[in-house]
Chain A
Amino acid sequence: MSPRFIIRNYLRGLKFPFCPGCGNFTVVNSFLRAVYELGHYDLQGFVFCSGIGCAAWIPSPYFLADSIHTPHGRSIPVAIGVKLFRPELRVVVFGGDGDLAGIGLNHLLHAARRNVDINVIMVNNMVYGMTGGQVAPTTPFGTVTTTTPYRSFERPLDVTRLVATAGANYAAKWTTAHPKQFKESIKRALQTRGFSFVEIVSQCPTAFGRRAGFKTVAEMLQWFKQNAIPKEKAEKMSLEELEGKIIVGEFVFRTAPTLGDNLRQMLMEARKTCG
């Protein structure tokens, strides 16, 4: 019989620094439950890499595991370095939208292209939260932030769609109003060989919600629910109809050979030719 899920088995016992109502709590719970449901009763064999921002603080140093907290945007290259040298380790990246899709987007796309066997979880709060609520590449058009005081005037990026196109073996997107689906996607991601990406649109009541006109966390979650369109349904809708919507679901599931597979194949061939 498997032991009960006890969250503190996975944590160092330090207090998480997140604001009340932060979506990161949902992410922590869903992730660790997914890990538990896959039969991991601790985090041995996991290595967590994360960059800069609130989401990057999810594993570092709170998870009772190896964690590498990197410069802003650089978690993925560090993760690739770990994975290539120690392929047997399970390397998971946590980051926000600014970290992974702003300053680190280049690395994210190339990691997907390479299909490197790591899992990336992007907590998209649509804003630079830790630095005080500046506009992000994911901020919905027309939102008031501290650096768009009149309103934002750029279109947001649909990161999951981009990553799916770039070559990931698995890519899914949910919101914190879909904790169950999110957890299931994390399980699928962890079971995927190759690059997997799970995005969760999350509430930042402190740096986003207030200015964007949401009075409570519940209001934001309600907004997520109302605006979330399942991918299958979205495929039948026009671009105009999809304006401002959050398309959720599983975007891709492939079994293409991973970077590690291809690298090992090349090494075998090289050694054969060179004795």
Chain B
Amino acid sequence: MEGLLKPGIYFWQGNEACAYGAIAVGCRFFAGYPITPSSEIAEHLARLLPLVNGVFIQMEDELASLNAVIGASWAGAKAMTATSGPGFSLMQESIGYAFMTETPCVIANVQRAGPSTGQATKGAQGDVMQARWGTHGDYNAIVLSPNSVQEMFELTIRAFNLAEKYRTPVILLADEVVAHMREKISVPPINEVQVVNRKEPKKGDRAFFALEEVAPMPAVGEGFNVSVTGSTHDEYGVRFTANPEVHRRLIGNLMNKIESHKHEIVELETHNIDGCSTVIVCYGCTARTAYEAVEEAEKRGVKVGYVRLKTLWPFPTETIGELAQQAEKIVVPEMNLRQIFYEVQRAACGKAEVVALNKVGGGEMITPEEILRGVVP
């Protein structure tokens, strides 16, 4: 392990950094199906996992992939898969299943231009709402948005830690730009990597689900006789397919375990926000454009605020609401045709003008000049 991941400065591709981040935090199982632009995550883990006693398997499709990950998680593994739009669509079924069964797992979705096959090699940010609302029924999602190779490493680690802590699927919502770019990255000593593990049950524990606080999670084969089901169940995993109270309690607790820890989950990067009349709210690769625009505006004597969402979901509604109180204009650049824009608008409650700036197709990023036109008078 130490041999695989020596601390130091590297020049890595984003997908490579994701794979190493997974190894660093203790991921020991990967099941996936090849798809551009995520395949390098699988390729690197196919090479790395066997060297740390982990398991890599390429499955027959994305449905099988995420379900194998869920099986491995119940067998005690930290487990992940990686995919892109079309595969992410197929995985929605099992994302709901993982949420319902409180199964920790990580799904890296490297976004490309959709819908459907779209433009396989070209970056986009079109899966933001799908990542929040893609599976059916009521649920809460944790979705992280890396904007650099360094963060492909760090947020992969964080994704596992959040998944383990809250016993829920966590989505690393990357994009082709960040996943395929190569960049300088600093890898810390392995013993400095923060590692969170799922809460283990005590002997005699029987309630493994739907508790107000996150329940302990046994592995199968440990004598706990755990009953896992995606159907509505009580704290013992017993199915109740018609009882309204059991359903309300289950879903209420599942929703709440994320909602009530929102302050620990949400991470923002801000720059210049105090007293700025114009603020950019951005995420992922587009945040790099926004940052450059903010710096350029400053050179021209205009101070522009910058808020980067490192967590897309849960959404920092309150923070954006406060921002809208003091700012006149919030600009939301996205490589889609308006997604987070509506969430920002909802949070702003009409207190500030919310302006969308959108571009899709061919993987062309929004340029700093395009943002500047919107923020410099």
Contact = CB atoms under 8 A, between A and B. Distances in A.
Interface in A55-82: 60-61, 64-71, 73-74, 76-82
Query: Considering the complex of A and B, which 5 residue pairs feature the smallest CB-CB distances, nearest first?
Result: A81-B71, A61-B227, A81-B68, A78-B71, A77-B67
Interface string B220-239: 11011111111100000111
A60 B70 contact: no
12 contacts: A47-B220, A66-B227, A67-B226, A68-B220, A71-B230, A77-B59, A77-B64, A77-B65, A86-B76, A110-B60, A110-B64, A274-B51
Given A67-B226, A71-B67, 10 more contacts: A44-B223, A60-B239, A68-B228, A74-B64, A77-B65, A77-B71, A78-B68, A81-B29, A81-B79, A266-B50
Contacts of A81: 29, 31, 67-75, 79
A217 interface: no
A254 interface: no
B29, B61, B76, B230 — which one has the most chain A CB atoms within 10 A of its CB?
B230
B204 interface: no
A271 B51 contact: yes
Given A80-B57, A81-B72, A81-B75, A67 B63 contact: no
A275 interface: yes
B15 interface: no
Contact of B225 (A65, A86, A266): A65
- B interface bracket (residues with beta carbon within 8 Å of A): 35 or more
B55 interface: yes
A75 to B, nearest CB: 8
A49 interface: yes
Given A89-B221, A275-B3, A78 B67 contact: yes
Nearest to A267: B50
Contacts of A66: 220-221, 224-228
Given A86-B75, A89-B221, A107-B64, A71 B238 contact: no
Interface string A250-275: 00000000000001001100110011
Contact of A85 (B60, B75, B97): B75
Contacts of B71: 49, 68, 77-83, 85
B229 A61 contact: yes
Contact of B57 (A78, A79, A84, A107): A84
B292 interface: no
A71 B59 contact: no
Contacts of B225: 12, 64-66
Contacts of A275: 3
A14 B237 CA distance: 13
B72 A85 contact: yes
Contacts of B68: 77-78, 80-81, 84
B229 A82 contact: no
B55 A263 contact: yes
A69 B227 contact: yes
Interface string A193-210: 000000000000000000
Interface in B56-92: 57, 59-61, 63-65, 67-77, 79
Given A61-B227, A69-B227, A84 B67 contact: no
Nearest to B69: A81
A60 B229 contact: yes
A77 B75 contact: no
A84 B29 contact: yes
A73 B71 CA distance: 14
A45 interface: yes
Nearest to B101: A68
A265 to B, nearest CB: 11
B43 interface: no
A86 B221 contact: yes
Contacts of A78: 67-68, 70-71, 74
Of listed A45, A49, A73, A80, residue having the most chain B CB within 10 A: A80
A106 interface: yes
B94 interface: yes
A88 B73 CA distance: 16
Contacts of B237: 61
A49 B224 CA distance: 16
Of B28, B31, B63, B68, the most chain A CB neighbours within 10 A belong to B68
B93 interface: yes
B94 A74 contact: yes
A163 B74 CA distance: 27
A181 to B, nearest CB: 31
A7 B60 CA distance: 38
A84 B51 CA distance: 16
A89 B227 contact: no
Nearest to B77: A85
A73 B61 CA distance: 13
A112 B375 CA distance: 60
Given A60-B227, A84-B57, A85-B76, A70 B221 contact: no
A86 B223 CA distance: 14
Contacts of B53: 267
A12 B226 CA distance: 11
A266 B28 CA distance: 16
Nearest to A68: B228
Contacts of B230: 69-71
A86 B229 CA distance: 20
